[in-house]
Amino acid sequence: MTAISISTLPTNAECRCLLADGRTLTITASRRPRANRADVKCLAPNAPAIAERMQEVVRLARHTEIRLDSRDQVVLSMAIAPADADRCWELAAVLADRMVRGLYQAAPGQLVYAQGSSDAWHLGRVYGAIRPVSRDQDPAQGDALTITHLGALSGHADPSAAVSTVRTWFPLHSGGANDALGWVEVSVFPLESMAHGTDMSANATHIAAPAEEDTIAAPGLDLAAQQEVRLTLAGARHFDGRGLGRWRSVVRFGQPRFQGASYQLALVMADRLARGREFVPRGRIIASGCSSAWHAGRVDTVDGREPKLALILSQAAQGDRILLPKDWQGELPPGFTAALRQKGASVACIDRIGMI
């Protein structure tokens, strides 16, 4: 592995964007030792929602990078705030973040203009244009590079081709007339191992493997829910033996408002399927279960058994695989298993993952 020299990385970098209203937006990225701070901090004048979106964009785009070096904090700031509906600055934020970390470089003396946005940054998908220009040149006159994925920045194939994405379903609440099945989606991208170090002399550094929780993003959830998702996946991967330190992951929920922790079994199963640790069912996996010991692979019971079973039975379709806690096995309603079988679905009550 080639040694990474901190001395060759810039301390600051800039990327510009021509906004829809004709103004020029400059996004400045600065790098400093992390010192237990957030990996990315974003600032937009009098626009906290835009700053929050910029942080989300940059973190998700980082999930397509081969290496993850979290020793530094990157601070991104906008000189002016764009209109709320204007998202063409997103690619400029991603490039500024990569420029200050040495992952994208402009020619000496050139400014970089970029326009582009995406709803799937974690897959590297974007439709945008990058235009390097000299300082005395009209930014609308330079030759533009049009890209549809971030891998094109380094001449690589579409990075989303290496992303495995799986969805599973779970009861959003505790069953009942107003409940529904929600989905959780896990996307995993292979992470190059950084457990091996480099020579510590002559400007070289050692890059430690990131903590498993730092490689898992869960946009759209509050901080407490994000932490619970990270701890659940890290624990379940620990049970795999060799599941840690190998993946960059993004977790998305179709409905970010759900009740309790019974989504955890569905989340763990989506992750295991995405990482090739389970056989793929013919239809959906529908699961309800949690655990206080995912590191041991244990599946615990959850509340709301009867209304959840009624919901699952009404929503099950051909090919679906239903996973429930082992404690429910003796409490299944008469004819529940037969009714599922008649629909072409199947059910298993489990006390361990990896045994379905």
Is residue 1 in a domain?
no
Closest CA to 353 of 319, 312, 324: 324
How many whole angstroms from its chain centre is CA 53? 14
The contacts found for 1-5 with CB under 8 angstroms, 24 or more apart, are: 1/196, 1/198, 2/198, 3/198, 3/199, 3/202, 3/203, 3/204, 3/205, 4/69, 4/198, 4/204, 4/205, 4/207, 5/203, 5/204, 5/205
Residue 321's SS3 state is strand
Domain span at 281: 163-350
Say what the pLDDT of residue 2 is.
37
CB-neighbour burial class of residue 74 (10 A; exposed 0-12, middle 13-18, buried 19+): buried
Residue 355, domain member (yes or no): no
118 and 167 part of one domain = no
Give phi and psi for 12, each to the nearest 5: -135, 155
Q: Could you read off the pLDDT of 163-214 as tens digits, one per residue?
A: 899 999 999 987 666 778 999 999 999 876 544 343 434 444 445 567 888 8
161, 186, 206 - which closes a domain? 161
The answer to whether residues 195 and 221 belong to one domain is yes
Residue 174's CATH number: 3.30.230.10
Length of the chain equals 356
Helix, strand, coil shares of the chain, percent, nearest 5, are 30, 25, 45
The pLDDT value recorded for residue 6 is 52
User: Starting at the edge strand that comes first in sequence, how are the strands of the sheet with 110-117 ordered?
Assistant: 40-43, 72-78, 24-33, 12-18, 110-117, 125-134, 145-149
Give the integer Cα–Cα distance in Å for 213 and 248.
10
d(CA 308, CA 36): 42
Residue 356 located in a structural domain:
no
What is the DSSP secondary structure assignment for residue 21, as one 8-state letter?
T
Same domain, 242 and 174: yes
Residue type, position 125, single letter? R
What's the pLDDT score for residue 150? 92
What pLDDT score does 207 carry?
52
Q: What pLDDT does 173 receive?
A: 83
User: Which residues in the chain land under pLDDT 50?
Assistant: 1-5, 194-206
Mind listing the pLDDT tens digit for each residue in 10-60?
Answer: 899 999 999 999 999 999 999 999 998 999 999 999 999 999 999 999 999
Residue where one domain finishes, among candidates 134, 161, 188: 161
Whether 310 and 181 map to the same domain: the answer is yes
237 and 319 together in one domain: yes
Residue 27 CB-density burial (10 A; 0-12 exposed, 13-18 middle, 19+ buried): buried
> What phi and psi, each to the nearest 5 degrees, are found at residue 165?
-125, 130
Closest CA to 251 of 221, 282, 207: 221
| 148 and 297 housed in the same domain | no
Q: Is residue 147 part of a domain?
A: yes
Instruction: Please name the amino acid found at residue 185.
Output: E
Q: Round to the nearest angstrom and report the end-to-end CA distance of the chain.
A: 40
Angstrom distance (rounded) from CA 162 to CA 231: 24
Assess if residue 274 is contained within a domain.
yes
Task: Report the candidate in 7, 4, 65 with the shortest Cα–Cα distance to residue 39.
Answer: 65
Return d(Cα 153, Cα 87) in angstroms, integer: 20
User: What CATH number does the domain containing 114 carry?
Assistant: 3.30.230
**Among residues 233, 345, 209, which one has the least CA distance to residue 291?**
233
The verdict on pTM exceeding 0.85 is no
Same domain? For 80 and 168 the reply is: no
The number of distinct structural domains making up the chain is 2
The pLDDT, as a whole number, for residue 4 is: 43
196 within some domain: yes
